[in-house]
Amino acid sequence: MERSGIAMGIVYLEKERLFKLDTPHTTYIIGIVGEEGFLGHAYYGKTIKDAQGASALMRIYENPFTPDTNARDRLSFMDCFPTEYSGHGVGDYRESSIRVTTKGGYNAVSLAYVSHEIYKGKRKLPGLPATFGSEEEVTTLAIVCEDKAIGLTAVLEYSVFETVDAIARSARILNDSKEAVVLNKVMSGCLDMDNRDFEVITLHGSWARERHMERKQLGHGKFLVSSLRGEGGHQEHQFMALLDKHATQTTGDVYGFHLVYSGNFRMLAEVNQFDSVRVMGGIEPEGFRWLLKPGESFQSPEMIYAYSSQGLGGMSRTFHDLYRNHLIRSPYKDQKRPILINNWEATYFDFDEQKLLDIAKEASKLGIEMLVMDDGWFGNRFDDNRALGDWQVNEEKLKGGLKKLVDGVNVLGMKFGIWFEPEMVSPESKLYREHPDWAIAIPGRTPGLARNQYVLDISRKEVRDYILEMMFKVLHSANISYVKWDMNRPLSDLGSACLQAENQGELYHRYVLGMYEMQERLLAEFPDLLLENCSGGGARFDPGMLYYSPQIWCSDDTDAIERLQIQEGTALIYPLSAMGAHVSVCPNHTVGRNTPFETRGYVALAGTFGYELDITKLTDEDKAMVKLQTAMYHKFNDLVREGDYYRIASYRENHLYDCFQVVSKDKKRSLVFYVQVLNEANKKSRILKLQGLEEGLTYTVKELDMNVADSEDMVKDMQKAFSGELLMNAGLHFERMWGDFRAKVIVLEA
Ligand code: DGJ
């Protein structure tokens, strides 16, 4: 998408009582309606320079009119008015944005406009990850609404970005009354618009099969995806997009919604009797109950809206730019990350310091830059049945201690990284024996185990302090550059030994706040640390975690072909620079498939790039290829990390091949990734239309070749050059390759 749109900002058109929010290519219009100050939604879509008359889009001049002109039909009005933050129990029968229980036991709530403020920049959300930007980059509108009957105020905040077509929304609820109120539901954002026969895309999955795209027709009634696992989970994702029936990667209207939160969530679309669609996102209300005492406030997480008139690709690039520039804070976000080798698939729990040094020694010769020691280095962790919580080095395994090992790795010219699972405790551990009440549990009910572990109650400060202290001790004891923060089971049996009965419903959210606080403190203590989040693969691949770590482990499935779908779904919203991707051994440990080493390298190149195998056991031929691949990473990672992503073809859709492209911001360089998953007999070669290039530029075509002796010869000039116009309108030619699972990377240079 071009970035040359009109200047963005937020204006209040006083006469019409309209707020107009502009990003470079989109406009969002909110109206204040009637004497009561109903806050309505008028428009979200392509830029509208002159918003005059936009109030009509809320249909307030048609029957049933606003209640101040037609009190007898108030409910009809309430149930069809397009609202910015829906109430509950007073006539809007669609999904509510907020639900409360007052001291008297009443649930009704309805918020009306009181005042507003427009300011440069963006406030932090206390305790929560959120997008950010300077006063030059972001403008924010804060609308104060009130329910006078209860004495409850909601501050609805909308931030627009100078160079990105995204809007960030959140809600802060304040109790101005003299009595406590229970919040049963506080959603982050609500959007009402006409249903234009929309389809919906969500990301569905399972362990080792995360974020597969699913597209279907939206019908009447409610459609939702949610999590009750205490994390986003492998199963559903805190994302939803509504799109034109015929929208493609390059054409059509797409509305993407993403929640910056790592706990229970609900993303919902409801089509009602009048064919309006209401989209909503926020903390899952089931299992949520927050006591708000007089004077207290509750902050919702942030929900991102991204509208694209240029199909799914436009939406993807908006999310990528937003997250790269306004969400990821790590100093590594604009840097090449060290190429790592992780010992998990190489050894699982069966390793000692010598084995790790052997791996490091071989890896260092081939250009690998960091050894990551995964699960199994602490307590008596000889398998996954014990020792979580005992974060002391097992010197039976690491003879001579951690520092000796790290120094040994550093001497080889490599950095060192380490794995933790800080939120967990094994029943068979010193920690659990000493503090059984630190595990989340309900008195009188034995909590369920998963991978033989319990979840620590990190809503408690003393628990967080204790765990962090142990971690800091380990991290200060040696020269450690990287931490992999894992989480291998969902929450269940919610109960905290420290919360009063009336506060137990706060535990899910307090847990997430506790985890965020721990990561914040870890980074404050070690500002240069490269943090990678992980949750049994990719169950916590979410925008909230990106605020703390610039990369997240994408999936435990490292098979290159399985990864095509996982990485396609992930790249729909996340920049490639955030996707943890490694080359692993064959037959693959999850699916048993054999794929060429070259293909595995190319698929991992489209992420953070690293290895997850016993490099000492590779053939000389594969080792030679590792050397080329590490050189390849250094040549192309800048482009992969910083470029624009274009999806050309999807193996998920065609079941035969996959193709995507990264294009530098100045459009002078591009990498085209092509994977021929299955070969077919007697078929023509393929011609695929490329995207994102400059029509008038001439691009030379080069191809990566991994069958050379020296990395200098790796980029082969094909002695061909084509105009951007030809490559995008006619296409680039891909010859058939012999066999299945074959891949090619084309380099275009203008
Ligand atoms: C799950 C992670 O996804 C793996 O990479 C590995 O770290 C294991 N946990 C270790 O238990």
Residue-wise pLDDT tens digits, 425-475: 999 999 999 999 999 999 999 999 999 999 999 999 999 999 999 999 999
CA of 356 to the centre of ligand 1 (A): 17
Q: Which atom of ligand 1 is nearest to the CA of 612?
A: 5
Tell me, yes or no, whether 401 and 464 share the same domain: yes
Residue 335 resides in a domain: no
Question: If we measure between CA atoms, which residue out of 462, 507, 439, 579 comes closest to residue 289?
Answer: 507
User: What does R_g of the chain's alpha carbons equal in angstroms?
Assistant: 27
Q: Residue of the nearest CA to atom 11 in ligand 1?
A: 375
CA of 416 to the centre of ligand 1 (A): 17
Asked if the model's pLDDT at residue 7 lies above 60, the reply is no
Tell me, yes or no, whether 425 and 299 share the same domain: no
Domain boundary among 518, 545, 572: 545
The arithmetic mean of pLDDT across residues 571-594, rounded, is: 98
* Residue 83 three-state SS: strand
Tell me, yes or no, whether 316 and 429 share the same domain: no
- CATH code for the domain in which residue 711 is found: 2.60.40.1180
CA of 455 to the centre of ligand 1 (A): 16
CA of 398 to the centre of ligand 1 (A): 20
> Judging by DSSP bridges, how do beta strands 530-533 and 551-553 pair with one another?
parallel
Report yes or no: 489 and 444 within 8 Å, Cβ to Cβ: no
Q: What's the pTM? A: 0.98
Q: pLDDT tier at 639 (50, 70, 90 boundaries)?
A: very high
Tell me, yes or no, whether 13 and 61 share the same domain: yes
Q: Residue of the nearest CA to atom 2 in ligand 1?
A: 536
**Cα–Cα distance measured from residue 381 to residue 461, given in angstroms and rounded to the nearest whole number:** 26
**Cα–Cα distance measured from residue 290 to residue 183, given in angstroms and rounded to the nearest whole number:** 5
Asked if the model's pLDDT at residue 6 lies above 50, the reply is no
pLDDT at 276: 97
Q: Which residues are catalytic?
A: 486, 556
pLDDT at 595: 98
Tell me, yes or no, whether 316 and 345 share the same domain: no
* Residue 597 three-state SS: helix
Residue 238 resides in a domain: yes
Domain boundary among 326, 351, 375: 326
Q: Which atom of ligand 1 is nearest to the CA of 538?
A: 3
**Which of 209, 344, 386, 532 for a ligand 1 pocket mutation test, highest count of atoms within 8 Å of Cβ?**
344
How many Cβ atoms sit within 10 Å of the Cβ of residue 679? Answer: 15
Report yes or no: 462 and 399 within 8 Å, Cβ to Cβ: no
CA of 536 to the centre of ligand 1 (A): 6
Tell me, yes or no, whether 313 and 346 share the same domain: no
Residue 589 resides in a domain: no
Residue 595 resides in a domain: no
Residue-wise pLDDT tens digits, 18-37: 999 999 999 999 999 999 99
CA of 347 to the centre of ligand 1 (A): 12
Three-class SS of 154-220? EEEEEEEECCCCEEEEEEEEEECCCCCEEEEEEEEEEEEEECCCCEEEEEECCCCCCCEEEEEECCC
To the nearest whole percent, how much of the chain has pLDDT over 90? Answer: 98
DSSP 418-441: EEE-TTEE-SSSHHHHH-GGGB--
pLDDT at 260: 99
Q: Residues with beta carbon inside 6 Å of ligand 1?
A: 344, 374-375, 419, 486, 488, 534, 536-537, 553, 556
Tell me, yes or no, whether 318 and 357 share the same domain: no
Torsion of CA 148, 151, 156, 157, to 10 degrees: 130
- CATH code for the domain in which residue 64 is found: 2.70.98.60
Residue-wise pLDDT tens digits, 211-265: 999 999 999 999 999 999 999 999 999 999 999 999 999 999 999 999 999 999 9
Domain boundary among 489, 516, 545: 545
Residue-wise pLDDT tens digits, 153-173: 999 999 999 999 999 999 999
Q: Which atom of ligand 1 is nearest to the CA of 484?
A: 7
**Cα–Cα distance measured from residue 546 to residue 258, given in angstroms and rounded to the nearest whole number:** 13
**Cα–Cα distance measured from residue 28 to residue 505, given in angstroms and rounded to the nearest whole number:** 35
* Residue 142 three-state SS: strand
**Which of 347, 488, 533 for a ligand 1 pocket mutation test, highest count of atoms within 8 Å of Cβ?**
488
Residue 568 makes CB contacts below 8 A (sequence gap 6+) with 213, 647, 650, 651, 652, 658, 660
Q: Which atom of ligand 1 is nearest to the CA of 555?
A: 3
pLDDT at 9: 93
Q: Residue of the nearest CA to atom 10 in ligand 1?
A: 375
Residue 718 resides in a domain: yes
CA of 375 to the centre of ligand 1 (A): 7
CA of 588 to the centre of ligand 1 (A): 16
Q: Which atom of ligand 1 is nearest to the CA of 534?
A: 3
**Which of 388, 556, 589 for a ligand 1 pocket mutation test, highest count of atoms within 8 Å of Cβ?**
556
Residue 302 resides in a domain: yes
Question: Residue 652 sits in which domain range?
Answer: 646-749
- Residues paired with 46 in a beta bridge: 26
pLDDT at 62: 86
Tell me, yes or no, whether 363 and 297 share the same domain: no
Residue-wise pLDDT tens digits, 116-151: 999 999 999 999 999 999 999 999 999 999 999 999
* Residue 323 three-state SS: helix
**Cα–Cα distance measured from residue 107 to residue 152, given in angstroms and rounded to the nearest whole number:** 13
Question: If we measure between CA atoms, which residue out of 187, 182, 231 comes closest to residue 458?
Answer: 231
Tell me the backbone φ, ψ of residue 153, rounded to 5 degrees.
-115, 145
Tell me, yes or no, whether 371 and 510 share the same domain: yes
Question: If we measure between CA atoms, which residue out of 648, 670, 668 comes closest to residue 660?
Answer: 648
Q: Which atom of ligand 1 is nearest to the CA of 535?
A: 3
CA of 671 to the centre of ligand 1 (A): 31
* Residue 674 three-state SS: strand
Q: pLDDT tier at 63 (50, 70, 90 boundaries)?
A: confident
| Total domains, the chain | 3
pLDDT at 1: 32
Residue 434 makes CB contacts below 8 A (sequence gap 6+) with none
Residue-wise pLDDT tens digits, 182-213: 999 999 999 999 999 999 999 999 999 999 99
Q: What angle do CA 442, 436, 232 make, to 5 degrees?
A: 60
What type of residue sits at position 339? Answer: I
How many Cβ atoms sit within 10 Å of the Cβ of residue 357? Answer: 17
CA 202 to mean position of chain CA atoms: 13
What is the residue-averaged pLDDT of the chain? 97
Structure tokens at 102: 């007052």
pLDDT at 61: 86
Report yes or no: 107 and 301 within 8 Å, Cβ to Cβ: no
Residue 628 resides in a domain: no
- CATH code for the domain in which residue 415 is found: 3.20.20.70
Asked if the model's pLDDT at residue 3 lies above 90, the reply is no
Structure tokens at 658: 């996959």
pLDDT at 78: 96
Tell me, yes or no, whether 133 and 233 share the same domain: yes
DSSP single-letter state for residue 393: B
* Better-scored residue on pLDDT, 659 or 2: 659
What type of residue sits at position 548? Answer: Y
Q: Residue of the nearest CA to atom 9 in ligand 1?
A: 536
**Which of 350, 375, 451, 611 for a ligand 1 pocket mutation test, highest count of atoms within 8 Å of Cβ?**
375
- Residues paired with 215 in a beta bridge: 201
Q: Which atom of ligand 1 is nearest to the CA of 344?
A: 6
**Cα–Cα distance measured from residue 451 to residue 454, given in angstroms and rounded to the nearest whole number:** 9
Residue 599 resides in a domain: no
Tell me, yes or no, whether 225 and 138 share the same domain: yes
DSSP 14-77: TTTTEEEEE-SSEEEEEEEETTTTEEEEEEEEE--S--TTGGGGGTTTSTT--TTT-GGGHHHH
pLDDT at 282: 98
Tell me, yes or no, whether 478 and 537 share the same domain: yes
The arithmetic mean of pLDDT across residues 70-87, rounded, is: 96
**Which of 374, 388, 453, 552 for a ligand 1 pocket mutation test, highest count of atoms within 8 Å of Cβ?**
374
Q: Which atom of ligand 1 is nearest to the CA of 342?
A: 5
CA of 559 to the centre of ligand 1 (A): 15
